[in-house]
Amino acid sequence: MDCFSKIMTGYLLLMEQSEIVKKSKQLDMILYNGANIVIHVFTMHVHCNQPVENIVNQCCKSYICYLEYIEQLDKTNLANNLYISDISIFVYKLTLGELELGNSTISVYKPTLDLVSALWNVLLSWNSSFSMGARIAICDVYMKKYSTLFSIISDAGAFVEYIGIIQSKLHMNENVYFVFLNEYYRIISKWKRTDKLPDTNSILEKILMFHTQYYLEEKLTEENISVLVKRLLC
């Protein structure tokens, strides 16, 4: 999980350095598609029991190749014809060609890989207009914290889903979102530490109630978001 967080932070940092990527009208799509490619490379190497050093090297290679492909498309005025399947094949040929996948390893690592992938998609809040700097900070700080916590919680998927539901309805700005992530993590980690975690059905009921009945009556601020999180969870 630590390796995943570092790899994906490195990916975002590299993309941030590209003027072509930063000025693109398709910025979020470019970031999201590239991340999925890197995550697939990461997943395949973990399934194949590759050493951590090799996993990091191949994932770094994958996002460097992806960026080079994107920049070359821009230079040849083909950026509007961004076929992700073509880019994926190009990157995978360079990074996955020598792997031998065994069925026995897939079941061992699948829950953890599914968790970090789900957290990446939710925590980075792709339905928002967050800055690159904010997404880098989210990946660098919160991916490891949340994945470590949720890896020791049975049926953590409901907690992950709840984050996504709250995001979609509240439309938090970056500063409010950081406070939200801190408070959400604090409450759940306290529950885990004191053995007071609610069962999955309780969380699913809260999700349903929030999704169908909750309406924001006041503007969200860094001060009142903590109170709201407590109300939504407790």
Residues 62, 41: Cα–Cα separation, whole Å: 7
What pLDDT was estimated at residue 77? 65
The answer, yes or no, to whether residue 59 has pLDDT greater than 90, is: yes
Region 168-186: mean pLDDT is 95
Give residue-wise pLDDT tens across range 10-56: 999 999 999 999 988 888 889 999 999 999 999 999 999 899 999 99
Query: pTM of this prediction?
Result: 0.90
What pLDDT was estimated at residue 40? 96
What pLDDT was estimated at residue 107? 73
What pLDDT was estimated at residue 179? 97
Give residue-wise pLDDT tens across range 103-115: 556 678 899 999 9
The answer, yes or no, to whether residue 200 has pLDDT greater than 70, is: yes
Show me where the domains of the chain are located: 1-108
Mean pLDDT of the chain: 91
Q: Which residues of 140-171 are buried (b: 16+ CB within 10 A; e: fewer)?
A: bbbbbbbbeebeebeebbbbbebbbbbbeebe
CB 112 within 8 A of CB 150: no
Number of alpha carbons in the 13 Å side-chain half-sphere of residue 171: 5
Region 208-234: mean pLDDT is 88
- Expressed in angstroms, the distance from the first to the final Cα of the chain is 28
Which of the 8 DSSP states describes residue 197? P
What pLDDT was estimated at residue 216? 76
What pLDDT was estimated at residue 195? 95
CB 192 within 8 A of CB 150: no
By the 10 Å C-beta count (0-12 exposed, 13-18 middle, 19+ buried), 4 is classed as buried
Residues 10, 144: Cα–Cα separation, whole Å: 14
What pLDDT was estimated at residue 103? 59
Region 123-133: mean pLDDT is 92
What pLDDT was estimated at residue 102? 66
- Residue 20 zone, left/alpha/beta (φ > 0; ψ -120 to 50; rest): alpha
